[in-house]
Amino acid sequence: MSKKKKETVEKAYKKKLIKRRKPNRSIIGDIALYIFLLMVAFVMAFPIIYAVNSALKPLDELFKFPPTIFAQHPTMDNFSDLFVTMGKSWVTFSRYLFNTVFITGVGTFGHLIIASMGAFVLAKYEFPGNQSFFKLVTVAMMFTGYVTQIPNYLILNKLGWIDTYWAIIVPAFASPMGLFLMKQFMEGLPTSLIEAAKIDGANEWMVFSKIVMPNVKPAWMTLIIFSVQALWNNKASTYIYSEERKTLVYALQQIQAGGIARTGQGAAVLVVVMIVPILIFVFSESQILETMASSGLKD
């Protein structure tokens, strides 16, 4: 086949392929679809928009009826009042922040490592009781924290961990959601890839850290989002009694419950509490989408 004829065939094939991929809908349909997506996006973003604007409203606008969505005279007084109130506490704001960051960081890291290691074994190895153990994990997802709160308290009290950080951190390690998510994702990882690494001399830890974890990045990034959201918003008031070990969310909610005079500070509290999970999600989302687009591995 000559070069010219070959180019003609390639152009015809590409043209046919483009024609085949062209969506079968009209311009009106495209416009209607974009309008619908914009409406859905507004509905999803409305609570955040309203919360931020409420935190920027002066006190008279917060009690205005009918209420307005956007602040007419934006001010940062609510945030400044909030930090002034926090500064008057005998436990400093930085201490509350450290407690929350420590619990969230250590709990998320431990949950990620333990769930990933357990999921790798369940997904890629066969041993007696493999399926039974995974069914037990699945059943455990049916129970909320309120159901397991009393047994958890009794166990933690027996271990002497009540009123310590570990009362919140250690139960976070054993959350069944992480194990279920990682195991389901790792099952789609090609076994041939792991076998090839072992043939090249890689040990189990190298296979797990260098092969498995980079290829399941979407799963563990999603796990980080869920774990940070759960631990950051955990008041920990059931297990921690000492004020110097209380979390930031607990301290902020105590301010929020201070009555009508602190309504503006309560609106600012809502923004401070939700800002970190939102930022974690925003920064993680781009990495998840990028990884999912470039790591579609199948056997």
Q: What is the CATH number of the domain that holds 88?
A: 1.10.3720.10
Q: Are 84 and 264 in contact (CB under 8 A)?
A: no
The residue type of 163 is D
- Residues 101, 222 within the same domain: yes
pLDDT score for 102: 92
Find the radius of gyration of the CA atoms of the chain: 26
- Residues 287, 180 within the same domain: yes
Does any domain span residue 8?
no
- Residues 49, 171 within the same domain: no
Does any domain span residue 10?
no
**Final residue in a domain of this structure, among 49, 75, 101:** 75
- Residues 49, 126 within the same domain: no
Does any domain span residue 276?
yes
**Final residue in a domain of this structure, among 39, 54, 75:** 75
pTM as predicted = 0.74
Does any domain span residue 21?
yes
- Residues 163, 36 within the same domain: no
Domain coverage including residue 281? 83-294
- Residues 102, 45 within the same domain: no
pLDDT score for 24: 59
Token pair, residue 172, equals 């976070």
**Final residue in a domain of this structure, among 56, 75, 94:** 75
What are the pLDDT tens digits along the chain (299 aa)?
555 555 665 665 555 545 555 555 678 877 888 899 999 988 888 888 888 888 888 877 888 778 788 888 888 888 888 877 777 777 777 888 888 889 999 999 999 999 999 888 888 888 888 888 888 888 888 887 778 888 888 998 999 888 889 989 998 888 888 888 888 888 888 888 888 888 888 888 888 888 888 888 888 888 888 888 888 888 888 888 888 888 888 877 777 676 676 778 788 888 887 887 788 777 776 666 654 544 444 45
pLDDT score for 291: 47
pLDDT score for 295: 44
pLDDT score for 6: 53
- Residues 26, 167 within the same domain: no
Q: How many domains does the chain have?
A: 2
- Residues 107, 20 within the same domain: no
Does any domain span residue 101?
yes
The residue type of 53 is N
